[in-house]
Amino acid sequence: MQSFEEKPNSEPSQSTDFPSPQVEPKKQDFALKMWLRDLLTSIVVAFLIITFLYQPVRVEGTSMMPELRDQERLFINKFEYHFEPIHRGDVVVFHYPLNPVKSYIKRVIAVPGDDVSVQDGQVYVNGRELREPYVPRRYRDNRSYPDTVLKADQYFVLGDHRLISSDSRDFGPVSRNLIYGKASFVYWPTNEMGVVR
């Protein structure tokens, strides 16, 4: 018969199996603070990006087909035009001149100082016929617009789908202060993902 002798222990036994009840809440508090810090940082960064750099927008309508389709989602660059000029060919987003609550997206055809006209659907800039590979033949029309020299803050914009587009032929040149972004990148749907050209 085996017997066990119990020996007195001068020091209290210390178990490492379970954390001390006082340590656990401190770890939980620390983890919660770190999570809240990361969440707040993410919100601030997202706010700064959307406010000053890129903003997601949804295309409504088909006036920019085939480059942009109805309900596509894209990012617009709100930062670039603070440092770079607006160029011919840029696809820009602007407040609709006749109702600034609405936003339109069109292609810049002529910039300040340009002499622009449209004759039976053919665009002329500074007396030269404008080549427009972004406008498929089936989307062309035969509308005209009188010869106009753009002022220092004016841009002439047209939709790529000329047959159905409401653009500078209807509401005239767009003032610079109404243009707030450049269409940069389509991110949805994924099969149409890519840089806006």
Residues labelled as active-site residues: 63, 106
pLDDT, position 176: 97
> For the chain, what is the mean pLDDT?
86
Q: Which residues contact 53 (CB under 8 A, 6 or more apart)?
A: 77, 78, 79
The dihedral through the CA atoms of 101, 88, 150, 125 has a sign that is: negative
Question: Which residues on adjacent β-strands are paired with residue 103?
Answer: 95
Q: Which of 69, 154, 162, 161 is nearest to 115 (CA)?
A: 154
Q: Tens of pLDDT along 119-169?
A: 999 999 999 999 999 999 999 999 999 999 999 999 999 999 999 999 999
Tell me the domains of the chain and their CATH numbers: 57-195 (2.10.109.10)
Report the range of poorest mean pLDDT among 11-15, 23-27, 59-63, 87-91.
11-15
pLDDT, position 4: 34
Task: Check whether 109 has a pLDDT greater than 80.
Answer: yes
Two tokens at 195? 């840089």
pLDDT band at 86 (very low <50, low <70, confident <90, very high): very high
Output the CA–CA distances (angstroms, integers) from residue 25 to 17, 18, 29, 34, in the order listed.
17, 13, 6, 14
Task: Check whether 100 has a pLDDT greater than 50.
Answer: yes
pLDDT band at 94 (very low <50, low <70, confident <90, very high): very high
| Residue 93: CB atoms within 10 Å | 21
Q: Residue 183 corresponds to which amino acid?
A: A
Task: Check whether 91 has a pLDDT greater than 80.
Answer: yes
Task: Check whether 12 has a pLDDT greater than 80.
Answer: no
Pick 190 or 128 by higher pLDDT.
Answer: 128
Summarize the confidence of residues 58-66 as an average pLDDT: 94
pLDDT, position 79: 87
Quick check: 192 and 69 in contact, CB under 8 A?
yes
Task: Check whether 6 has a pLDDT greater than 50.
Answer: no
Task: Check whether 101 has a pLDDT greater than 90.
Answer: yes
User: What's the residue count for the chain?
Assistant: 197
Pick 31 or 112 by higher pLDDT.
Answer: 112
Quick check: 76 and 68 in contact, CB under 8 A?
no
Quick check: 62 and 71 in contact, CB under 8 A?
no
What's CA 101's distance to the chain center, in Å? Answer: 18
Task: Check whether 17 has a pLDDT greater than 80.
Answer: no
